[in-house]
Amino acid sequence: MSDAALLDIHDLCQSFPKADGGEHVVLEGVELKLAQGQIVGLLGRTGSGKSTLLRLISGLTLPSSGTVTYLGQPVLAPAPGIAMVFQSFALFPWLTVLENVQLGLEALGLPEPEIRKRALAAIDLIGLDGYESAYPRELSGGMRQRVGFARALVVHPNILLMDEPFSALDVLTAETLRTDFLELWGEGKLPIKGVILVTHNIEEAVLMCDRILLFSTNPGKIIREIPVELRHPRNRLDPQFRDLVENIYVAMTARAAPAPHIGAVAEKAGSATLDTVLPRVSANTMSGLIETLAAPPYNGSADLPVLGDELHMEVDDLFPVAESLQMLRLAEIEGGDIKLTDMGRQFAESGMDDRKRLFQRQLLAHVPLAAHIRRVLQERTNHVAPKSRFFDELEDHMTGEAAEASLRAVIAWGRYAEAFAYDDDSGTFSLENPT
Amino acid sequence: MRVFVPISVGGWARLFSRWDVLAVLLILGLLLFLSEASRNLFQPLAELQRTPPSLDPHNLPEYAARTTLRMLVAMALSLLFTFTYATLAAKNKRAERLLVPLLDILQSVPILGFISVTVVFFMALAPGRVLGAEFASIFAIFTSQAWNMAFSFYQSLRTVPTELVEASRNFRLSPWMSFWRVDVPFAMPQLIWNMMMSMSGSWFFVVASEAISVGNTTVTLPGVGSYMALAIERQNLTAVGWAILAMLVVILLYDQILFRPLVAWADRFRFEQEPGIVAPRSWVLDILRRSRVIDRLIRPFGVLWRRTMLGRAPDKAEAIKPATQPRHGWITFQWSLVVFALAALAAVQLVRFITQDITLADIGTTLLLGLATLIRVVILIALASIVWVPAGVWVGTRPHATLLVQPVAQFLAAFPANVLFPIAVSGIVAWKLDPNIWLSPLMILGTQWYILFNVIAGASAIPAELRSAAANLRVRGWLWWRRIALPAVFPYYVTGAITASGGSWNASIVAEVASWGNEHLQAKGLGAYIAEKTDAGDFHHIVLGIAVMSLYVVLINRFFWRPLYLYAERKFRLG
């Protein structure tokens, strides 16, 4: 069965019940096959359900519907032969490097000499020689993640699941680990047959994967499958590599605009409605991006990948800022480019007070939640309203967590714009700032 | 491939080292202590009464050993209780609903009042034998140790980081294995801290539980507590001094031999991996670690222990269920029904038991007496706060002073304040003071230190940058206290004050009545009421007194301390 799929996922859905009785869909209709010798990348932004998918594959969670089949067997519990590397390493701080690596083997019930032999072999392979008796807290982030890899590889899994394994590391360390991993993989030294890599770093996906599955947010769905046929070792400066990265950027920004709601009046891309989950982006960051865009060399418009590179911002950092600008009509996003609107230019040229005034106007005009809060406050005679009132309202449309996040975002924006005040002690909105 | 050996095997040239000698001595000493201390357990009770405890200081080492053994046995039982009760509460949603509130109430019940009720039960278990009385005493100590340990363990289990749980499931650890390799290690530092607190707290009850007299039955178990009781009865100040010395020695010994090694050992279980914190050390642990003999002796047990954990996790799927979803609604309903039925039954029994000879007037009296005790507690906590908060801040902001004072404060909190009562009583008698006022300070004698050392901890945790900023802005005097010092220590103060207040309620049972030879002093209060009814063997009124006191404690915890604590956590927690 050398050519048969290691893993076969069919029509996988994951959803959670909402307070109002509806369903919050995290993943929808996911189809995925992993063949032997492949690295498949799951690329998407925070909240696209890719980590959830990884936990479904590993059997840590069960899906609402659909099937995960591993070597012909449905996955209903953590399966032997599927090991995971965690973003935060998930090392046991009270166990030494060696003990951490041995843990999975002990759970398998192997005899002790065998455990020792395999653990040392894995430590050797991953370049941890000499660190056997160290505790995780004595190691740097890179070394810790090496332990994470050794711990996963030592059980000789068929499939290795990697949940953003390099995102908690600094740029240089991450690159070293990636290269080392690809080298071992290319030379066939790893005891694994297939890899699934979750990432939000486009370049990382293009560098490592044979196939990239692009995920949308809310709900998480595969929107595009992109084969990567470049030969290893891949060169980031290779024009083909750059083209691929650019294409993925365009594909991801194209979906950045939520699909228009049925029945909604023809709205512009990126418009917010009351049930839009607002990103937590500070007004300072937005001002910073506007100023950068307005200044040379961009002069009002920039290529997003170039901008991200220049500002050392990953997709997950850059997109929410860009989208917030779009939501407030201070910028427009199209085909992987971002362009300041007239309002945006005006913002860039104004002083502090004018900026606030302009921001307030845009906020109340284009963010329905902010307008709603302001209206309620004006209608009430004492101009005070509890936060819980709006929370309950939002919770009909989204999860409690998302409602809290949206409220926090709108509070921050409202404060900057001086559109309304909020007192955290009493949990109330009011119109008046302390005088 | 290189062979990996532990340092203790590869790193030492000689077969035996002086560490081995010391280690063997330590362990033999422990064995001797155990056999000596438990020798007399199976004596008939009559024999015990024939050889009454004497005030000869030569008996004190044996008495101290027996007292310590009781405390250690109670500690072992408390650990067993912690591992089972707290685990059940943390892992089983349905059990959690009942077990956690139950624990909360148990924590609030005045244990001293309990002793008299349980002693009868345990004496009945082993009639005519010392063992029954021993059980009763151990149980009393157990009840003073177990609750906070179980609660700490439960809370730790609830907060094991998700990624560790996922990793252990991904590598398919069996429940047994993940309990010992993940849950227990994660909870260990907090648990050991609580064990130390429990051990300190239980001294109070040792003194009270070794000389048990309920109605006409008086059982005196050989121990430091009964020695002390006898010394007080005979007005022998020298003997009181000897007893205090014996306690000091025992506290020092178990601190050095038991807790310091545990703390040093458990340091590896700290989850936060921030650098720059000096790791605690212990000479005993160093000896045990460096000894090859100990290593050889322990190793086979280690192998056996690990072998119990080998094996496969059950292939049972476990979906992560969202908390809001009412699954198994029917079973939950049945479960609630069973719990409510049991509770109702208990309530009916209780009411019948109490109403046999308790009138409404009795209830009114106890409520009023409770109010008197409440007023004492409130005033005392306020006074202690006025004294110890500024003192604690002063000490805490001076690192050198902190190093000196902090261990002393912790020791004072461990010291059973009830052994000092006789001295206070003789003073009150000599100067003819009003016991209603002057007995009161005894309630807080032992518990005020919790306020002090928590405030010191809080003040020393104020980040250097904040203090520099304040100095830079020239914030001084009252403004400095109001805006910086007091808010910064507030959460710590609240924690300390909660412990102090709970402890004071409990202490009222021994502090509101005190005697020195034939002199008996009594203040008006719920504690004195319970003590008086215990002497009379009047169970109905004891239960009434305990119930009312529990009610007071629970209500104050819920309606005063809890909101204050949450407020402090939300508003003043740094970082």
Cβ within 8 Å of residue B312, ≥6 positions away:
A107, A108, A109, B172, B174
Residues in B closer than 8 angstroms to A76, CB to CB, are 315, 317
pLDDT tens digits, A113-169: 999 999 999 999 998 999 999 988 889 989 999 999 999 999 899 999 999 999 888
Residue B311, chain A, CB below 8 Å: the answer is yes
Residues in A closer than 8 angstroms to B181, CB to CB, are 92, 95, 103
Nearest CA in chain A to B310: A109
- First-to-last CA distance in chain B? 47
pLDDT number for residue B229: 81
Residue A136, chain B, CB below 8 Å: the answer is yes
Nearest CA in chain B to A56: B319
Nearest CA in chain B to A132: B4
Confidence class for position B574, pLDDT limits 50, 70, 90: low
Q: Considering CB atoms only, which of B1, B166, B269 is closest to A120?
A: B1
Residue B310, chain A, CB below 8 Å: the answer is yes
3-state SS assignment for residue A39? strand
Residue A137, chain B, CB below 8 Å: the answer is yes
Query: What is the C-alpha separation between A198 and B166, in angstroms, rounded?
Result: 16
Question: How many angstroms from the chain centroid is the CA of residue B161?
Answer: 27
- The pLDDT mean for chain A works out to 87
pLDDT number for residue B62: 87
Structure-model confidence comparison of residues B65 and B267, the more confident one: B65
- The pLDDT mean for chain B works out to 77
Residue A165, chain B, CB below 8 Å: the answer is no
Structure tokens at A178: 């990636």
Query: What Cα–Cα distance (Å) separates residue B516 from each residue in A208, B421, B513, B522, B535?
Result: 83, 9, 11, 12, 16
Report whether B284 contacts B261 (CB < 8 A).
Answer: yes
Q: Check pLDDT > 60 for residue B276.
A: no
Structure tokens at A203: 């370049």
Residues in B closer than 8 angstroms to A58, CB to CB, are 170
B322 and A137 within 8 Å at the Cβ level: the answer is: no
- The DSSP output letter for A34 is E
A86 and B166 within 8 Å at the Cβ level: the answer is: yes
B129-163 exposure pattern, b = at least 16 Cβ within 10 A, e = fewer: bbbbbbbbbbbbbbbbbbbbbbbbbbebbeebeeb
pLDDT tens digits, B47-97: 555 556 677 888 888 888 989 999 999 999 999 999 999 999 888 887 777
A109 and B312 within 8 Å at the Cβ level: the answer is: yes
B177 and A124 within 8 Å at the Cβ level: the answer is: no
Choose, out of A25, A94, A96, A143, the residue to mutate when testing the contact with B (most B CBs < 10 Å). Answer: A94
pLDDT number for residue A297: 87
Structure tokens at A357: 């005034």
Confidence class for position B427, pLDDT limits 50, 70, 90: confident
A109 and B310 within 8 Å at the Cβ level: the answer is: yes
Best CA proximity match to B346, nearest among B179, B547, B63: B547
Task: Indicate the angle between helix axes A239-254 and A315-327, nearest 10 degrees.
Answer: 40
pLDDT number for residue B8: 33
Residues in A closer than 8 angstroms to B167, CB to CB, are 84, 86, 90, 92
Strand A38-43 vs strand A82-85: parallel, antiparallel, or unpaired? unpaired
Report whether A329 contacts A272 (CB < 8 A).
Answer: no
Residue A209, chain B, CB below 8 Å: the answer is no
B312 and A135 within 8 Å at the Cβ level: the answer is: no
B163 and A58 within 8 Å at the Cβ level: the answer is: no
Residues in B closer than 8 angstroms to A107, CB to CB, are 171-174, 177, 310-313
Query: What is the C-alpha separation between A19 and B392, in angstroms, rounded?
Result: 47
Confidence class for position B4, pLDDT limits 50, 70, 90: very low
- The DSSP output letter for B417 is G
Query: What is the C-alpha separation between A379 and A376, in angstroms, rounded?
Result: 5
Q: Check pLDDT > 80 for residue B300.
A: no
**Count of alpha carbons within 13 Å of A340, Cβ hemisphere only?**
22
Span of A263-267, B356-360, B495-499 with lowest mean pLDDT:
A263-267
Structure-model confidence comparison of residues A250 and A365, the more confident one: A365
Burial of B128 (0-12, 13-18, 19+ CB in 10 A): exposed
Nearest CA in chain B to A129: B2
Nearest CA in chain B to A57: B170
Residue A86, chain B, CB below 8 Å: the answer is yes
Choose, out of B7, B9, B168, B171, the residue to mutate when testing the contact with A (most A CBs < 10 Å). Answer: B171
Best CA proximity match to A258, nearest among A248, A268, A249, A250: A268
Q: Check pLDDT > 90 for residue B248.
A: no
Which contiguous run of DSSP H or E holds residue B404? helix B399-414
Burial of A171 (0-12, 13-18, 19+ CB in 10 A): exposed
A77 and B317 within 8 Å at the Cβ level: the answer is: yes
Q: How far is A61 from chain B (nearest CA, A)?
A: 5
Structure tokens at B495: 């924690």
Cis peptide before A233 (omega within 30 of 0): yes
B268 and A80 within 8 Å at the Cβ level: the answer is: no
Confidence class for position B152, pLDDT limits 50, 70, 90: confident
Best CA proximity match to B497, nearest among B531, B453, B541: B453
Residues in A closer than 8 angstroms to B174, CB to CB, are 107
Q: How far is B263 from chain A (nearest CA, A)?
A: 14
Nearest CA in chain A to B316: A77
Residue with tokens 């809310």: A218
Q: Which segments of A35-137 are extended strands (E)?
A: 38-43, 65-70, 73-74, 82-85
Q: Check pLDDT > 90 for residue B37.
A: no
Q: Residue A38's beta-bridge partner residues? A: A194
Confidence class for position B215, pLDDT limits 50, 70, 90: low
Nearest CA in chain A to B182: A92
Q: Considering CB atoms only, which of A103, A121, A133 is closest to B171?
A: A103
CB pairs under 8 A between A and B: 107
A104 and B171 within 8 Å at the Cβ level: the answer is: yes
Q: Residue B519's beta-bridge partner residues? A: B516
Report whether B146 contacts B81 (CB < 8 A).
Answer: yes
Residue A426, chain B, CB below 8 Å: the answer is no
Residue B164, chain A, CB below 8 Å: the answer is yes
Span of A58-62, B3-7, B176-180 with lowest mean pLDDT:
B3-7
Q: Considering CB atoms only, which of B1, B270, B315 is closest to A77?
A: B315
B194-231 exposure pattern, b = at least 16 Cβ within 10 A, e = fewer: bbbbbbbbbbbbbbbbbbbebeeeebbbbbbbbbbbbb
Span of A329-338, B47-56, B467-476, B515-524 with lowest mean pLDDT:
B47-56
Q: How far is B85 from chain A (nearest CA, A)?
A: 24
pLDDT number for residue B206: 80
| Category of B130 on φ-ψ map: left (φ > 0), alpha (ψ -120 to 50) or beta | alpha
Which contiguous run of DSSP H or E holds residue A23? strand A23-34
Residue B356, chain A, CB below 8 Å: the answer is no
pLDDT tens digits, B353-367: 666 777 778 888 999
Q: Check pLDDT > 60 for residue B412.
A: yes
Task: Indicate the angle between helix axes B539-556 and B329-355, nearest 10 degrees.
Answer: 130
Confidence class for position B318, pLDDT limits 50, 70, 90: very low
pLDDT number for residue B241: 86
Mean pLDDT of A31-51: 88
Q: Residue B516's beta-bridge partner residues? A: B519
pLDDT number for residue A413: 93
pLDDT tens digits, A306-344: 888 888 888 888 888 998 999 999 998 887 789 999 999
A88 and B271 within 8 Å at the Cβ level: the answer is: no
Number of H helices and E strands in chain A, helices first, is 15, 16
Residue A140, chain B, CB below 8 Å: the answer is no
Nearest CA in chain A to B164: A90
pLDDT number for residue B325: 44
Nearest CA in chain A to B177: A107
pLDDT number for residue B307: 67
Residues in B closer than 8 angstroms to A90, CB to CB, are 161, 163-164, 166-167
A90 and B163 within 8 Å at the Cβ level: the answer is: yes
Q: Residue A221's beta-bridge partner residues? A: A216
What ipTM was estimated for this complex? Answer: 0.74
pLDDT number for residue B26: 62
Mean pLDDT of A87-116: 88
**Count of alpha carbons within 13 Å of A159, Cβ hemisphere only?**
26
In angstroms, what is the C-alpha Rg of chain A?
24
Query: What is the C-alpha separation between B500 and B444, in angstroms, rounded?
Result: 7
Best CA proximity match to B523, nearest among B373, B361, B375: B373
Taking the CA atoms of residue B12, residue B14, residue B16 and residue B19 in that order, the dihedral angle to the nearest 10 degrees is -50
Cβ within 8 Å of residue B158, ≥6 positions away:
B90
Q: Considering CB atoms only, which of B268, B306, B316 is closest to A94?
A: B268
Residues in A closer than 8 angstroms to B311, CB to CB, are 107, 109
Span of A312-316, B240-244, B525-529 with lowest mean pLDDT:
A312-316
Structure-model confidence comparison of residues A19 and A169, the more confident one: A169
pLDDT tens digits, A66-89: 999 998 888 888 888 899 999 888
The CB density around residue B418, as the number of other CB atoms within 10 Å, is: 23
Mean pLDDT of B295-309: 72
3-state SS assignment for residue B512? coil
- First-to-last CA distance in chain A? 76
% pLDDT > 70, chain B: 79
Mean pLDDT of A343-357: 92
Query: What is the C-alpha separation between A195 and B92, in angstroms, rounded?
Result: 36
Q: Check pLDDT > 60 for residue A257.
A: no
Q: How far is A427 from chain B (nearest CA, A)?
A: 13
Structure-model confidence comparison of residues B245 and B283, the more confident one: B245
Best CA proximity match to A76, nearest among B455, B515, B314: B314
pTM of the predicted model, to two decimals?
0.76
Q: How far is B458 from chain A (nearest CA, A)?
A: 23
Span of A351-360, B60-69, B108-117 with lowest mean pLDDT:
B108-117
Residue A62, chain B, CB below 8 Å: the answer is yes
B163 and A86 within 8 Å at the Cβ level: the answer is: yes
Q: Which amino acid, one-letter code, is at A103?
A: L
